[in-house]
Amino acid sequence: MRTQRLQRRLTRHEAVVGVVGQGYVGLSLAASAAVDGLTVRAVDVDGARIRELALGRNVVPGVDDAMFAAAVDTGRLSFDTDPAAVADCDVVVICVPTPVVEHRPDLSFIEDAGRAVAAHLQRDSLVILESTTYPGTTDQILRPLLEAGGLRAGRDFLLAYSPERIDPGNVKYGLRNTPRVVGGIDEASSRTAGLFYSQLVDDVEVLSSCRAAEMAKLLENTFRMVNIALVNELATLCGEQNIDVWEVIRAAATKPFGFMPFYPGPGVGGHCIPLDPTYLAWQSRRDTGRPFRLVETAQDINAHMPTYVTTRVIEALSEHGKAVKNASVLALGVTYKPDVGDLRESAAIEVLGRLARKGARISFHDPFVSEIREHELNLRRSALTGAALEAADIVLLLTPHSSYDTDQLTRHAKLLFDARNAIGSPRPSTVVPL
């Protein structure tokens, strides 16, 4: 196998890169690679998405508009629905979804992508899987699919795993300055995958295997999920004891060692935190017969938070002489995190669905979302005006986008439920904290 030739093409920026899957992970990678001088073939089965991207329209939430525009301007980024576009690629990166269905990992997108790539895989190339998944997927699921065409991993092509680490909306850490973890099926695969990412990323950590890299990704997000569950449960305890949980966290965070602050909220959302630990819990039960007890407990705590927030909202209304039935509720921010237009697993929408089933009249505003069509809701975005704030029996600040003027909210809302401590302390008497 001519590994050195591929490595030379990478260092000289002569390599052609195929990126299969044009969600925010795949498109972010494709755009960055094009800006950094590589020729990129971007592939996705969604024809409507590909047409928009080919016209230079960024229709993928979470992808930096400036980076996308710069990539298009290079002329090195092309879009296609035909997987044959990867046939001349030196590197093929698979960035497809790995959802959880009925508490089990759904690897059908990886399997489909593997079969599509295998049909056009060229000798002496490198295949990298970026999709988050459980340890063993690259070796046990993807590898046999790629080898079905007759080529053999390690002999005819290289194979590695490198988990995506993109944090949508994070203005401090992007693809370039977030270290990349890489693990291959053998030393040549690891080294070459590390060389590829070193063209795009400042720091690359090369591990001993695909399994180690797969597990590292799950540890990252499980760590976050467990600590979020801790402060979520602490928030419920503090609420029962009339203690300001935000003050407690702020005080604990003054310790310069041994503590990292996490913050409570209406629940966890997005594509990582609610889903990735499920892979770990599922694999533990499948391979060892034991539950991953800490993970499963944390999942239960976080899953309860929308119910807890709903109860707090109903209590706040009651304390101000208003029943939840027929109460006018204006929700601000329904995406899973601030300044990102992603509704996946959004706890805010679950809260609204629960309140609607209690008889509340729901309206919402979110600068990134024009309509809600889930959790039995059928809503179009309302205008955010002083009059709208004053007319609501309660305003719910569920996801505090930076465009929201908190002074305006406290000035006009007669009752404001602040799920994320956006108002801070001291709070007006009309503001109800989580």
Place of tokens 């204006």: 330
Q: Is 272 a catalytic residue?
A: yes
**Which of the following is catalytic: 89, 95, 210, 272?**
272
Tokens (6 digits) for 247: 């003050």
What contacts 185, CB < 8 A, 6 or more positions away? 138, 139, 143, 153, 154, 158, 159, 160, 209, 210
Q: How many CA atoms lie within 13 Å of 387's alpha carbon, on the beta-carbon side?
A: 2
Single-letter amino acid code for the residue at 295:
V
* Three-state secondary structure call for residue 369: coil
Decide: residue 322, CB within 10 A, 0-12 exposed, 13-18 middle, 19+ buried: middle
What contacts 336, CB < 8 A, 6 or more positions away? 268, 269, 270, 342, 343, 344, 345, 346, 347, 348, 399
CA 141 to chain centre: 23
- In order of 116, 180, 428, the CA distances from 302 in angstroms are 37, 28, 28
Q: State how beta strands 379-380 and 371-372 pair.
A: antiparallel
- CA dist., res. 13 & res. 359, Å (int): 60
List the helix and strand counts (H, then E) for the chain. Answer: 15, 17
- CA dist., res. 145 & res. 143, Å (int): 5
Catalogue the active-site residues.
272
